[in-house]
Structure 1
Amino acid sequence: MSELLTADRIEEIGALGLESPDPAVLVAELVGAVDEGRVADPDDTGYALLVAADILEQAGDLADALALATRAIAEQPDDNAYARAVRGGLLLRLGRADEGLAELTALRPLLETDPQATYVIDELAESGHGELALEWLTGALDAILERTRTHEHESEDAQDEAAAMIYGLTQQRHDLREEQGLPHDEYDNLADRLRAASTHALDALDDGPATLLFWPQAEFTALLLRWPALGDSYPASWDEHRAQIERALAEASGMGGADLGVAVGTVARLAAFADRAGSDPTSEETLDEYADSLDEAAVTAWPPGRNDTCWCGSGAKYKKCCLPRSRS
């Protein structure tokens, strides 16, 4: 029997993309594993198909990319909003405007409830519908702000969700209007104020720093082998480690945090740091101090652009790597 297709391999293929001498072989590997039931984690089935669709889209084969996105929706019907957005964008780029807009319009309410649903706007903007994207962003902000005015006594969780919505939507709207050369309006001014004030917002968070300590895959394995006691502080797998980092940064961003990033650690440097300080390398205090000691070269800004290489070092695009996989 052929090997199982792991999440790491899916990401490796996504990173190779068109840089491979034969992208069709990569697509065949992904689709073949799905067809033969060889995806190691069944929850990654839709992910594998979307990575294959992305490779085909980059190659200009929009029709086949659409077929794979449609299949990803069918394979994982309970968690398909992102796949539906991809399908909607592909339909728009194929000239099937009515179908594409219908698909994305059905997802529009997510802009008022899900801080990560900006992919809906991305698909609109990338398909030449920037004006409509701005209209949807404005409508979502109007609705959320009205909701906060009429429900002043909502729970703390509801207030945090509203704050995350407002911050994220104003920033995306601001950037999109700037790209289109439009003058500032009231929401743009709000975006500027929120961004300027965001460096102070992290002070209100219980979980402090704007930069979180992250271990690349090889270093994560070496870390737990050298200091097994850290197994109580870190998740069992590297995949969950980076997902935790992504979720924490997304939460901080939703609360208005700015200048966020990941401090990339190495086992050798942690050991040397602890030795110099005469401290326990497995203590939380030592780990925090080690992260603070890292210079700018070891810090990766977060978040990257959706089409930029993911911050975790997988080599895949952010939108195909940690962004969608951290939402579970």
Structure 2
Amino acid sequence: MSTSDLLTADRIEEIGALGSESPDPAALVAELVGAVDEGRVADPDDTGYALLVAADILVQAGDLADALALTTRAIAEQPDDDAYSRSKRGGLLLRLGREDEGLAELTALRPLLETDPDATYLVDDLAEAGRAETALEWLTAALDAIMDRTRTQQHESEDAQDEAAAMIYGLTQRRHDLREEMGLPHDDYDNLADRLRAASNHALDALDDGPATLLFWPQAEFEALLARWPALADSYPATWDEHRAQTERALADAAGLGAADLGVVAGSVAGLASFAEQAGSDPTDEETLDEYADSLDEVAWPPGRNDACWCGSGAKYKKCCLPRSRG
């Protein structure tokens, strides 16, 4: 089999972007399903992804029954990574009138809202099936549980604190959007969502007047940065996990606004100190930070889905920072 016959992640993504707007969506579905049937998916890890993209095209075309069949098949193909597929299946069951089955599928996944920053897809599937009130109830309960946990467990590990911060950000933003869609007035969690979004926009603002490149601090450097120059604490979030999540979201937002040639540059404390010393400038000054960023080699964003993530975690982009742009 030649490589030209293989269905790559880039091609799956391209088909997903075309969706039902293609003059022949049935041909796109056939291309995806055919590649799965014939074992022509370049990366076996993308088998479920291909089936879910095909299912989404069918949903857009109004063919919910066939979409359900493909979603069920995606679960069988990749049972060890099936939460997203099961959520989609639950939402489709609800929309097809099989309410007991659909709600049971989604309820089994509900605990993920307290542990997985990406699990707000559960809320989307509930809302799309006409269960917005249930979605809001689940979001609020998950936030209550996480906030209570952060108040009562003061000695959690740094990783646990980072995870809680990412969870709170994603849940408050999705809850805020849902309440706006439902026409509900602001409450305390909505106010928190506004404050967290404002902090995230700090990174996006850095793209407004200069090159579409963001200064990013790898984990060890981020911690060393705030320890050496505490004055920068007001310019960055409290945790590295939130820092990389904000950077990913800012780049995704910029791309959505039409920005091109996006990228990140990785800073180091030693590099910034040396740069500021040579320039005779304050390392905490925004202009110094911008000029320092300009002196660094840029890494293009976004990487390929199967490439190493730009944040330096060593994980594939699709498993690491890509989902953070949906927070």
The two structures share one fold, judged by TM-score above 0.5? yes
Task: Give the distance between the partners of 1:286 and 1:23, measured in 2 at CA.
Answer: 48
Task: Give the distance between the partners of 1:142 and 1:182, measured in 2 at CA.
Answer: 19
Normalising by structure 2, report the TM-score. Answer: 0.66
Mapped contact 1:164–1:253 kept (Cα < 8 A): no
Task: Give the distance between the partners of 1:153 and 1:36, measured in 2 at CA.
Answer: 52
- C-alpha RMSD over aligned residues: 3.7
Label 1:9 to 1:258 Cα distance change in 2 as closer, same or farther (>3 A). Answer: closer
- Equivalence for 1:93: 95
Task: Give the distance between the partners of 1:324 and 1:119, measured in 2 at CA.
Answer: 15
- Equivalence for 2:243: 252
Task: Give the distance between the partners of 1:250 and 1:13, measured in 2 at CA.
Answer: 31
Note the C-alpha offset of 1:193.
2.8
Label 1:258 to 1:131 Cα distance change in 2 as closer, same or farther (>3 A). Answer: same
Task: Give the distance between the partners of 1:158 and 1:19, measured in 2 at CA.
Answer: 42
Note the C-alpha offset of 1:178.
1.2
Label 1:140 to 1:8 Cα distance change in 2 as closer, same or farther (>3 A). Answer: same
Is 1:289 aligned with 2:302? Answer: no
- Equivalence for 2:260: 264
2:96 aligned partner, one-letter code = L
| Deviations 1:210-245, CA, capped at 9 Å, x for gaps | 9549xxxxxxxxxxxxxxxxxxxxxxxxxxxxxxxx
| Deviations 1:138-178, CA, capped at 9 Å, x for gaps | 00001101111121011111111111111111111111111
Note the C-alpha offset of 1:250.
8.1
- Equivalence for 1:303: none
Please list every run of 5 or more consecutive structure 1 residues that lacks an aligned counterpart in the other structure: 203-208, 214-248, 267-284, 294-299, 301-310, 315-321
Please list every run of 5 or more consecutive structure 2 residues that lacks an aligned counterpart in the other structure: 205-210, 216-239, 263-289, 306-316
2:243 aligned partner, one-letter code = A
Normalising by structure 1, report the TM-score. Answer: 0.65
Task: Give the distance between the partners of 1:35 and 1:287, measured in 2 at CA.
Answer: 51
1:55 aligned partner, one-letter code = I
Label 1:258 to 1:37 Cα distance change in 2 as closer, same or farther (>3 A). Answer: closer
Label 1:100 to 1:211 Cα distance change in 2 as closer, same or farther (>3 A). Answer: farther
User: Identity rate of aligned residues, in percent?
Assistant: 75
Label 1:98 to 1:210 Cα distance change in 2 as closer, same or farther (>3 A). Answer: farther
Task: Give the distance between the partners of 1:186 and 1:142, measured in 2 at CA.
Answer: 12
Label 1:40 to 1:29 Cα distance change in 2 as closer, same or farther (>3 A). Answer: same
Higher relative CO (Cα under 8 Å, sequence separation at least 6) belongs to 1
Label 1:24 to 1:258 Cα distance change in 2 as closer, same or farther (>3 A). Answer: closer
